[in-house]
Amino acid sequence: MSSLSLRALSKSYGPVQAVRGVDLDVNEGEFLSLLGPSGCGKTTTLQMVAGFVPPTTGSIVVDGQDLTSIAPEKRDMGVVFQSYALFPHMNVAQNIGFGLEMRRVERGELKRRVEEALAMVRLAGLEGRYPSELSGGQRQRVAIARALAIRPRVLLLDEPMSNLDAKLRGEMHVELRSLQRRLGITAILVTHDQVEAMTMSDRIAVMTNGGIAQLGTPQEVYDRPASQFASSFLGHTNVLSGRIESRIADEATVRVGPTAFRTRVAKDQVTPDIAVFVRPERLRLGSPDQATLQGRVSTRLFLGGSWIYEIETELGMLRITQQNTGTVQAEEGETIGVSWNAEDLRVIATERSDG
Ligand code: ATP
């Protein structure tokens, strides 16, 4: 098990600052995701850790050893790319053994390690096949086995599941997560898929504009987003217009529609107008006369396990998700009540740069 520290890590391409002073500590055996939209700098960060891109400034330290100017092949990092990058002219066993050959691992040991890696990803029996004779999911598992065979200090995953269909991707999430736990290997995943980041990670670093906007467990980042960016990037969020009615220092009473709630607000929040956030699963549908608000069901979508309702209200369009309990709560076009608990309303209490 290894720990990894990035210190003031930056990368500029001419005038483009791809990564700006990233500080990050990844604990031993931790699964950490770098999550963010296209162009936020996550791949560049991973490439610097792997050693494929030299940082402009800053350092990369693994188990106390500074690797910043060490060649990629000497860093003992296992890397899995989106494209898998398997060698088409090599069979599965040769692909998996490639890194070991390069490291001049003795024949018997190499064979043993390839067999071990094949068993880990449940591909025993397919060692003679060529990549073109494998399904997408099998190719991806070969790529993971190849990365694991060298017994890397850190496993680096760059959107490795984005070429798989939704069902297979879901299965691979479970498999990869349990393999990583079992091996106790430190792993960093780059992804723009919030569900992937939430299901796989011990912690998520939400990135924007070359920096980390928020670092926390999936639940912390989802339930207590530190910025509007983090709130909207991780799952859907309803943004309501609120107004500060009264305030003493950073304690305020905020009015939203017909209700008011007490909350902490940012010190630099100077205007009374303030955005209030509430997650779709925290809103309730009910009878119009006993609800906080009334609205008209604009759209209703069935997801199997749940329903999504889009409700037109005086506060704007609200999204509500409801568990599928077997009964339909409202039809499209129907007038319905919407309620919430004050403790489920959030404002961003700490101002951060949203990039
Ligand atoms: P994606 O999800 O699309 O891969 P990303 O978050 O991984 O995006 P990066 O690939 O790290 O983003 O790119 C960050 C920024 O750096 C982008 O503005 C990109 O255009 C720029 N960039 C990346 N590589 C280079 C390069 N070799 N030369 C110039 N600019 C680059």
For 219-273, the pLDDT digits (tens) are 999 988 888 888 878 888 899 999 999 999 889 999 998 889 999 888 888 888 9
Structural contact between residues 230 and 197, judged by C-beta atoms closer than 8 angstroms:
no
Top-confidence residue, 186 or 233? 186
What is the distance of C-alpha 114 from the center of its chain?
30
Closest C-alpha among 221, 155, 222, 146 to residue 184:
155
pLDDT beyond 60 at 122: yes
Distance 40 CA to ligand 1 centre (A): 7
Structure tokens at 28: 């031993």
pLDDT digits (tens, 9 = 90+) for 290-332: 888 999 999 999 999 999 999 999 999 999 999 998 777 789 9
Q: Residue 167: its pLDDT value, please?
A: 81
Domain ranges of the chain: 4-231, 236-279+342-355, 284-339
So what's the architecture of 236-279+342-355 in CATH? Answer: Beta Barrel (2.40)
Give the residue whose CA is nearest to atom 22 of ligand 1. Answer: 18
What is the distance of C-alpha 221 from the center of its chain?
10
Give the residue whose CA is nearest to atom 18 of ligand 1. Answer: 39
Give the residue whose CA is nearest to atom 24 of ligand 1. Answer: 44
355 lines ligand 1 (CB under 6 A): no
Closest C-alpha among 163, 153, 208, 212 to residue 184:
153
Distance 44 CA to ligand 1 centre (A): 6
Structural contact between residues 150 and 100, judged by C-beta atoms closer than 8 angstroms:
yes
Task: Categorize the per-residue pLDDT at 351 as very low, low, confident or very high, splitting at 50, 70 and 90.
Answer: very low
Tell me which CATH homologous superfamily contains domain 4-231. P-loop containing nucleotide triphosphate hydrolases (3.40.50.300)
Mean pLDDT value across residues 169-193: 89
Burial (CB count <10 Å: 0-12, 13-18, 19+), residue 210 = buried
Distance 172 CA to ligand 1 centre (A): 26
Q: Which of 36-50, 52-66, 106-120 is the least confident region?
A: 106-120
Structural contact between residues 50 and 156, judged by C-beta atoms closer than 8 angstroms:
yes
SS3 assignment for 262-295: EEECCCCCCCCEEEEEECHHHCEEECHHHCCEEE
**Can you give the pTM of this predicted structure?**
0.86
Closest ligand 1 atom number to CA of residue 19: 14
Mean pLDDT value across residues 156-178: 85
Distance 74 CA to ligand 1 centre (A): 25
40 lines ligand 1 (CB under 6 A): yes
Give the residue whose CA is nearest to atom 26 of ligand 1. Answer: 13
Give the DSSP letter of residue 226.
S
36 lines ligand 1 (CB under 6 A): yes
38 lines ligand 1 (CB under 6 A): yes
pLDDT digits (tens, 9 = 90+) for 50-95: 999 999 999 999 999 999 999 998 899 999 987 778 899 999 999 9
Place of tokens 């009910």: 286
Q: Does the 284-339 domain belong in CATH 3.40.640.10?
A: no
13 lines ligand 1 (CB under 6 A): yes
Helices (H), 150-239: 166-183, 194-200, 218-223, 228-233
Task: Categorize the per-residue pLDDT at 350 as very low, low, confident or very high, splitting at 50, 70 and 90.
Answer: low
pLDDT digits (tens, 9 = 90+) for 2-27: 899 999 999 999 999 999 999 999 99
**Comparing 4-231 with 236-279+342-355, is the CATH topology the same?**
no
- How far, in Å, CA of 163 to CA of 242, rounded? 42
- Best probe residue, ligand 1, of 6, 13, 193 (max atoms within 8 Å of C-beta): 13
| Cα–Cα distance list, 70 to 24, 27, 28, 52 (Å) | 19, 21, 21, 10
